[in-house]
Every structure is written in C-alpha cells, then in structure tokens.
C-alpha cells in the first residue's frame, strides 16, 4: 500500500512514473515541470548539484545532448515515507563517436505532500561509466 502523500504512487501515474516517461521521451521540459521551483538534483558519483528550474533544465538538456538516445529501464521501485528509490538501467549511445552504454543506477526522489519532486539524487558507478565510454 502506498505511503501517505505520494499521490498513490506507484498504482497511479505519479511524479516518479511521469518523470521516467518524460525522460525516456527526451521531454526535458516536461521532466523539469514535475519539480518544485526550488528543487535540487545531485549526482552522487561526481558530487555536483543543481538547484532551481533553469539549472535543472540546463542539466537535463546537456545530458540529452551527450546521450541523445538515453533510455532508463525501471528495475525496482521502493517507497519509504516521502522518498521513492528507483533502481534503473540506463542504456544508450554516449558521445561522438557513439559508445554503447549500459549502466545500473538508483534515483532517490524526495516528494512533497502535493506530489511534486522536491529533490533527486542519482547514484551510479563512475568507474563503470568511464570504462564504457573510454576510447581505446
């Protein structure tokens, strides 16, 4: 049974489902629209963070330019209070010339009581990523 304040996630298309769908459609503006205006995103592997609508838009657009066919495949979803952990496998082609990439990771979403995304943290293995995109 879903936790209170998660808009019946995951049985109804809630913010996490909508976020994943927008990202897989490369609808970066649609993904950012699910965040609160002062929301933040952190890349745990690099320690870099962005906050606010414009910074989130720039970050997603930049990622989309680096990996134009990115696809996040959901593996598992865990609910814990206002948090949703989403295990995924990212696949696609990175950079030019394109390098095939398959990378497991975990998104941690912090949701507001009204169903908006207040924060995301993305966890992935930096060494595994670098090994796949390095040129020989």
The whole-number pLDDT of residue 81 equals 85
**Residues in the chain with pLDDT values less than 70:** 1-13, 135-136
The whole-number pLDDT of residue 75 equals 95
The whole-number pLDDT of residue 43 equals 96
For the chain, list the domains and their CATH numbers: 15-133 (3.10.450.50)
Are 99 and 90 a contacting pair, CB within 8 Å?
Answer: no
What are φ and ψ of residue 91, in 5° steps?
-135, 155
Is the whole-model pTM more than 0.75? yes
| CA 28 centroid distance within chain | 11
């Amino acid at each position: 049974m879903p936790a209170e304040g998660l808009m019946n996630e995951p049985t109804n298309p809630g913010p996490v489902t909508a976020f994943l769908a927008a990202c897989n459609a490369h609808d970066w503006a649609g993904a950012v629209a699910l965040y609160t205006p002062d929301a933040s995103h952190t890349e745990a592997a690099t320690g870099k963070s962005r906050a606010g609508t414009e910074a989130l838009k720039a970050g997603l657009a930049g990622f989309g330019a680096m990996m134009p066919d990115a696809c996040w495949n959901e593996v598992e979803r865990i609910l814990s209070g206002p948090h949703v952990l989403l295990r995924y496998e990212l696949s696609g082609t990175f950079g030019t010339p394109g390098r095939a990439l398959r990378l497991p990771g975990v998104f941690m979403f912090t949701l507001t009581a009204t169903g908006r995304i207040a924060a995301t943290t993305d966890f992935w293995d930096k060494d595994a990523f670098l090994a796949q995109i390095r040129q020989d």
